[in-house]
Structure 1
Amino acid sequence: MDLPRSFVIRERDHRIHNPFTAAKLATLGRALRLRPGTTLLDLACGSGEMLCQWSHAHGVTGTGVDISTVFVDAARARAVELGVAGRVAFVHGDAATYTAEVEVDVAACVGATWIGGGVAGTIGLLERALRPGGLLLIGEPFWRVDPPDEATVTACHATAREDFHDLPGLVALFGRLGFDLVEMVLADEDSWDRYVAAQWLSVRRWLDAHPDDELAGELRAELDTAPLRYVRYQRPHLGWGVFALMRR
């Protein structure tokens, strides 16, 4: 049970596996008014930067769960680096089936709503671990501009236009599911660049070091097309944000 090697190669140098900078993550932590002792469950936590950074800055405690052995190891190392290893823990496992032992103040799935088959299903997974009156955090893409054709949809990693809402549609969905939207921090073009463009350098350096690897041909072909595909399609059309919700 692990992520494909190609994904890990692309994002091996990332601390945040979403189009979010450290500054935006810090802004979100301040916006949520986190207090020492706040408990957090982060499903599909990646390299654990959100939990580690917020534990360091705000005294948050909690658990992160991720399917990648590489990212979980990185999260544990980051916790030691920031001096918070006694307050946070990271579990290698399937976030879709993880069962929390106790209810938490904040339950998050930032950028991986596929674990619940979409926004609604993922909210259902998170609510199982959330104390009454707690916060849900959902990180989700949305259309900044309506995609004009199928090429744009495909280049934005969607199987159909309906895979993503526009921003008003996403906010309306939260309401239909019975939640108040109480905070949000959105990605901008710079944070998208830092997430996506950083992958190109990671891939290129990996290719230089592993020219005979079985994945070299696939990743070389990807690097030939990825930058133009990103600036032509994804950068102008796709948004992303983290949304804080509370049950009505």
Structure 2
Amino acid sequence: MNVLNMHEIAEAGHRILNPLTEDKLMLLADICRLRPGQRLLDLASGKGEMLCRWADAYGIEGHGVDISTVFVPVARERAAELGVADRVTFELNDAADAVKSGEHSGYDIVACIGATWIGGGLAGTADLMLRALRPGGVVLIGEPYWADDTPDEAYDALHTPRDAFTTLIGTHDRLEAAGLELLEMVLADGDSWDRYAAAQWWTVSDWLRGNRAHPDADAMRAYLADARRTHLQYQRRYMGWGVFVCRVAED
């Protein structure tokens, strides 16, 4: 059972597949100064909630790309539910491959929210995003960051190498090194982390009670036990999460 399959089960009840609340998701839209007719490319778009909600509220158009055979149909259903399927489309594909194909370009906004693994990290993902961005456009990068006092044991417990992410100011420096100017940001807090992480516990618990004989039950039971412990002991305190609003820096 791979990590994607585990997340498809754990996030079955989520609309937003990251620690932003609905209010912060719409705050991010306001910060981006969205207006009708703008085009957004969402890489690793998950269930498409951001793109669909913004299309409904602000009249933008867009395209989402995700590798999950579970999430993409849900995104399409959400677009139909909100009446934006004529302006929003979703593609089942590897996000990096989709950009490298050259079929996506000239977008006003390119987003990759919490999935910079598609480009091997922040720098590689920023490079991918800029290929699809129009001159003067905006990129949205969702990325975890470490607290300044994160202990060594937290990295092991969270199964995340220390250098996979950096501190908040270190994230700023990585953005600058990638040729980006940080304009704004929307950060999760302890409560929004809880709503995202803890809600998964209930979902997985329900799945386990209804799938006791499933061949992946033991793996999901271990996933749940680890998720609870690491969030309570380390993640909530030492791992921040935010969306960073950027544009190409001037020379």
Match of 1:168 in 2: 169
8 Å Cα contact 1:3-1:68 kept in structure 2? no
AA at the equivalent of 2:53: Q
Match of 1:28 in 2: 28
Match of 2:68 in 1: 68
Query: Moved runs in structure 1, 4+ residues, more than 4 A?
Result: none
The residue matched to 1:6 in structure 2 has which SS? helix
Measure the CA separation in 1 of the matches of 2:35 and 2:194: 31
1:13 corresponds to 2:13: yes
Measure the CA separation in 1 of the matches of 2:128 and 2:192: 28
The change in CA–CA distance for 1:101 and 1:236 in structure 2 (over 3 A counts) is closer
Structure 2 spans left out of the alignment, 5+ residues: none
Q: TM-score, normalised by structure 1?
A: 0.95
Greater Cα shift, 171-180 or 13-22: 171-180
Question: Any residues of structure 2 matched to 1:107-126 within 5 Å, and which?
Answer: 107-126=110-129
Measure the CA separation in 2 of the matches of 1:46 and 1:65: 8
Q: TM-score, normalised by structure 2?
A: 0.94
Match of 2:232 in 1: 231
The residue matched to 1:96 in structure 2 has which SS? helix
Measure the CA separation in 2 of the matches of 1:243 and 1:229: 25
Structure 1 spans left out of the alignment, 5+ residues: none
Measure the CA separation in 1 of the matches of 2:104 and 2:224: 43
Measure the CA separation in 1 of the matches of 2:53 and 2:157: 32
Question: Any residues of structure 2 matched to 1:1-248 within 5 Å, and which?
Answer: 4-99=4-99, 100-149=103-152, 151-158=153-160, 160-248=161-249
Measure the CA separation in 2 of the matches of 1:45 and 1:3: 17
Give CA deviations for 1:61-95 in whole Å, capped at 9, x if unaligned.
Answer: 01000000110011011111111111100000000
The residue matched to 1:69 in structure 2 has which SS? coil
Measure the CA separation in 2 of the matches of 1:196 and 1:92: 26
The change in CA–CA distance for 1:36 and 1:85 in structure 2 (over 3 A counts) is same
8 Å Cα contact 2:126-2:178 kept in structure 1? no
AA at the equivalent of 2:202: L
8 Å Cα contact 2:54-2:60 kept in structure 1? yes
8 Å Cα contact 2:18-2:114 kept in structure 1? yes
- Aligned pair count? 245
Give CA deviations for 1:110-168 in whole Å, capped at 9, x if unaligned.
Answer: 1000000000100010111100000011000001243212x31023331x212211001
Percent identity for Structure 1 against Structure 2: 51
8 Å Cα contact 2:127-2:178 kept in structure 1? no
AA at the equivalent of 1:31: I
The residue matched to 1:97 in structure 2 has which SS? helix
Greater Cα shift, 54-63 or 168-177: 168-177
8 Å Cα contact 2:39-2:109 kept in structure 1? yes
Deviation at 1:3, TM superposition (A): 6.8
8 Å Cα contact 2:31-2:184 kept in structure 1? yes
AA at the equivalent of 1:72: V
The residue matched to 1:20 in structure 2 has which SS? coil
- Aligned-residue CA RMSD in angstroms? 1.4
Deviation at 1:218, TM superposition (A): 1.5
